[in-house]
Amino acid sequence: MSIPLKHTARTTTGVVPPTEKKKGSKLFALKTDFLKNDEDSIQKGILDHVEYTLARTKYNFDSFSAYQGSAYTVRDRLIERWNETQQYYTEKDPKRVYYLSMEFLMGRSLQNAIYNMGLKDEYHSALLELGFELEDLYEEEKDAALGNGGLGRLASCFMDSLATLKYPAWGYGLRYNYGMFEQGIYDGYQTEVPDYWLVAGNPWEIERLDVQYTVRFYGHVTERKSSEGNKFDWEGGELVQAIAYDAPIPGYATTNTNNIRLWSSKPHKEFDLDAFNGGNYLSAVEAKQRSENITSVLYPNDNTYSGKELRLKQQYFFVAATLCDIIRRFKKNHSNWADFPNKVAIQLNDTHPTIGIVELFRKLIDEEHIQWDEAWQIVTKTYAYTNHTILPEALEMWPVSLIENLLPRHMQLIYGINHRFLLQVTQKWPGDIGKMRSLSIIQEGDEKKVRMAHLAIVGSHCVNGVAAMHSELVRNAVFPDFAALWPNKFQNKTNGVTPRRWIQQANPGLSSILNKWLKTDKWVTQLECVKDLKQHINNPELIEEWKSVKQFNKERLADFIHKTCGIQVNTNALFDVHIKRIHEYKRQLLNILGVIYRYLSIKKMSPKDRANVVSRVVVFAGKAAPGYVMAKRHIKLINSVAEVINNDKEVDQYLKVVFIPNYNVSIAQVIVPASDINQQISTAGTEASGTSNMKFTMNGSLIIGTLDGANVEIAEEVGQENMFIFGLRTHEIAGAREKMRQKEVVIDSRLQEVFLNIELGTFGPPEIFKPILDSLMYNDFYLTMQDFPLYLDAQAEVDALWKTQDAWIRKSIINTSSTYFFSSDRAMKEYAEEIWNIEPCEVETSDYRRY
């Protein structure tokens, strides 16, 4: 694939007025070319940054400074492309999409930027001459973990695809000083250490002191009579400053470089006269400092709602600054508000930024003096909302009293919006109080609450789920009345992941196989190409190459495990991987109970039977929310079981259990390519989509899983015969729960044996695990017990297939070659065409208008 811009002249298109031209001629003369990408220029750039940016010398030049120096030279090149892109977008003025997400789980940037800009070979040899391996320097970088899990990582995959597809897009989010906590494991328990990720600086961000906005909290609303009707002014309260930090996002093999703009809160410069007069200097400083708390810390909850005022402050701070920025950009070229939805699409990544709907409405009405109906039309045409979960504990509902205090004007407007909305409901269902109650944005009760999902649905022109089955549930089970009212509002957009990070960068061996057998590297941006691999499925040469790449990746992971956990694992064993947030619905418990059963079985076997056992390395990784007591107990159980198994010489060659601490994006990049099977075993109907399932499938790992989330669509593409599907189906869940309530569930005898061993203390003091067993016996909401025997059957099928390695490898190849649909490129095209109505805007790289 040709990669433009190895060294191209800068091209500012558009006509510059003659006076400007003269004034700027020196400027343009000095800045005509992009930085050169030959080895010498790269080396010089690195050394310059080591000296002038880091103030270090060539005598004091360690791996970390080599990483930093390299990162700054890459950043220079990103900035050039970024400026070029933004300039081009400004001139062309296409409709843009703004992706609003409280989370971006970016991971590392150096490798991604170098690969996307097509500079891998150049950097590799430039660094080699300076005495460094490029691949080693990647490891010097700290992950940017401004997200919890799937939702945040999805946002980052989407940003990569948007840039690669040349869509004019911006990501907006918050620059938390503390990202996802660092997980340690002590005595088998999770510990949490704050992640001050900026401690060694961050070459990937550009501080924009020139982009600042003021955000108001609290205060009061004053109504003023005027000739055009009543006006409402929101006044007083506290002011906080939002400062922009930009992270350039390079597309693959294109000049197009988009931006993620993250806001950081800083004290507002307003002079506090009262504090000054009161002589209370130190408390005035403290008050100012409090404003910096807003963007201090990412809430570490995945799929659960936290009703803290600070969280609502984060949400409002985020959208208030973002809308100032979007509107400023819009106003550069436009004066007619009716054009706004033709130029701006805003996507809400879950309900977290939903207050932005009301904020835009407030600005239109109070600041731009647009009439209610017209303003509401603009708002609803602009916004679209993605739902990412149907778990009730994750649905956000803010107490009315909290919003009234923090955002008084917004609460008034929400009442007004709800009033008009309920009139529509009455028209559709006259006199039906039940419908009004169930649809209302306000939930009545002891404490009135604002249902953010309802507000998001009412304020958007489109609502989508993230996998076919999830979207069906959103439409039919969670919001059936909304779907009846607005059948065309609801869509499905199945998630996707970027093949750049998850194949090309994470699995170089597999990339080479694809390049070789497909005779092209087009698959990197056109993943549909990989289906052609199926033609070679019986070619022994391919099968051998496939095996050896997997082996290499397993050895890489084994080294990592040895380094981080001190455990030696057998790389000929089957690598069985379960990595994701620790959550009851994701059922790591089902897995570890199965592991215990396997262990007990091996222990009972004769030496002859043991000879037939498939050796396994069972890998777990994932974080539990710090306040999620049950999930943390599951971590303890996994580690306690691991401790016993890993120290039992009798099972040494057959079974190892590893819990890799501090799971994050860069660790996933090592684990995913090394796995033989991956566990996607949530209770049917609970996992909205899942995205690691897609990454594993791309990397030829076979899914053992339930028909939940995107597993269903993966099964359609890959074929169920190439996976290990088991368990209750979604439509059986209610019945199974009823069976549990009626105490009609007969516990499988193998599970009883497992329970007995836990109770007898085989894995440590039984009282630690009693709450886990109790949760199963009294309720078993996630139906672990009923799925257990089916799960064991599926695991037995895994073992059987493993014994015929060539058949296994063929299935592995089929998995990889069936993954086109799960590329985030496909997902972004669908959003662009079916929700946002935007088109690609490719930055022209010809130099016909050089100055």
Check residue 531 and report its DSSP letter.
G
Catalytic residue at 313? no
**Residue 494: CB minimum distance to ligand NBG, A:** 10
The verdict on 173 binding ligand NBG (CB under 6 A) reads no
**Residue 592: CB minimum distance to ligand NBG, A:** 21
The verdict on 492 binding ligand NBG (CB under 6 A) reads no
Nearer of residues 151 and 590 to ligand NBG, judged by Cβ: 151
| Contacts to ligand NBG from residues 672-701, by CB under 6 A | 687-691
d(CA 12, CA 253) in angstroms, rounded, equals 19
Choice from 100, 154, 174, 668 touching ligand NBG (CB under 6 A): 154
d(CA 2, CA 253) in angstroms, rounded, equals 7
Choice from 137, 151, 242, 411 touching ligand NBG (CB under 6 A): 151
Indicate the residue type of 667. Answer: I
| Contacts to ligand NBG from residues 442-481, by CB under 6 A | 466
What is the per-residue DSSP string for 432-478? Answer: -HHHHHHH-SEEPSSS-EEEHHHHHHHT-SEEEESSHHHHHHIIIII
The verdict on 202 binding ligand NBG (CB under 6 A) reads no
Distance of CA 440 to the CA centre of its chain: 30
Structure tokens at 261: 């703009």
Q: What is the 3-state secondary structure (H, E, C) of 653-690?
A: CCEEEEEECCCCHHHHHHHHHHCCEEEECCCCCCCCCC
Nearer of residues 690 and 700 to ligand NBG, judged by Cβ: 690
d(CA 316, CA 242) in angstroms, rounded, equals 11
**Residue 502: CB minimum distance to ligand NBG, A:** 14
Residue closest to 172 by CA, chosen among 296, 345, 390: 345
Nearer of residues 394 and 630 to ligand NBG, judged by Cβ: 394
d(CA 638, CA 565) in angstroms, rounded, equals 14
Choice from 147, 150, 341, 685 touching ligand NBG (CB under 6 A): 150
Structure tokens at 680: 């996607």
Indicate the residue type of 820. Answer: Y
The verdict on 828 binding ligand NBG (CB under 6 A) reads no
Binding-residue total with ligand NBG (CB under 6 A): 17
Nearer of residues 594 and 690 to ligand NBG, judged by Cβ: 690
Choice from 112, 265, 303, 504 touching ligand NBG (CB under 6 A): 303
Active-site residue (options: 409, 501, 580, 634): 580
Indicate the residue type of 101. Answer: S
**Residue 688: CB minimum distance to ligand NBG, A:** 4
3-class secondary-structure state, position 209: strand
Nearer of residues 352 and 410 to ligand NBG, judged by Cβ: 352
Catalytic residue at 449? no
The verdict on 85 binding ligand NBG (CB under 6 A) reads no
Q: Which of 361-369, 388-396, 454-462, 698-706 is the region at the interface with ligand NBG (rule: CB under 6 A)?
A: 388-396
| Exposed e or buried b per residue across 774-805, where buried means at least 16 C-beta atoms within 10 angstroms of its C-beta | ebbeeebebbbbbbbeebbebbeebeebbeee
Pairing outcome for strands 189-196 and 178-186: antiparallel
Nearer of residues 81 and 501 to ligand NBG, judged by Cβ: 501
**Residue 686: CB minimum distance to ligand NBG, A:** 8
Catalytic residue at 516? no
> Would you say 145 and 180 are in contact if contact means Cβ atoms under 8 Å apart?
yes
d(CA 383, CA 749) in angstroms, rounded, equals 53
Active-site residue (options: 581, 587, 632, 633): 581
Residue closest to 579 by CA, chosen among 571, 569, 591: 591
Choice from 495, 505, 640, 845 touching ligand NBG (CB under 6 A): 495
The verdict on 818 binding ligand NBG (CB under 6 A) reads no
Catalytic residue at 578? no
| Contacts to ligand NBG from residues 705-744, by CB under 6 A | 709
Active-site residue (options: 388, 598, 623, 634): 388
Catalytic residue at 142? no
248 membership: H or E segment, kind and range? strand 238-250
Catalytic residue at 695? yes
Nearer of residues 157 and 798 to ligand NBG, judged by Cβ: 157
Burial of 531 (0-12, 13-18, 19+ CB in 10 A): middle
Active-site residue (options: 322, 351, 389, 691): 691
Active-site residue (options: 695, 737, 810, 811): 695
> Would you say 588 and 628 are in contact if contact means Cβ atoms under 8 Å apart?
no
By the criterion CB under 6 A, which residues form the site for ligand NBG? 150-151, 154, 302-303, 350, 388-389, 394, 466, 495, 687-691, 709
Q: Which residues are catalytic?
A: 388, 580-581, 586, 691, 695
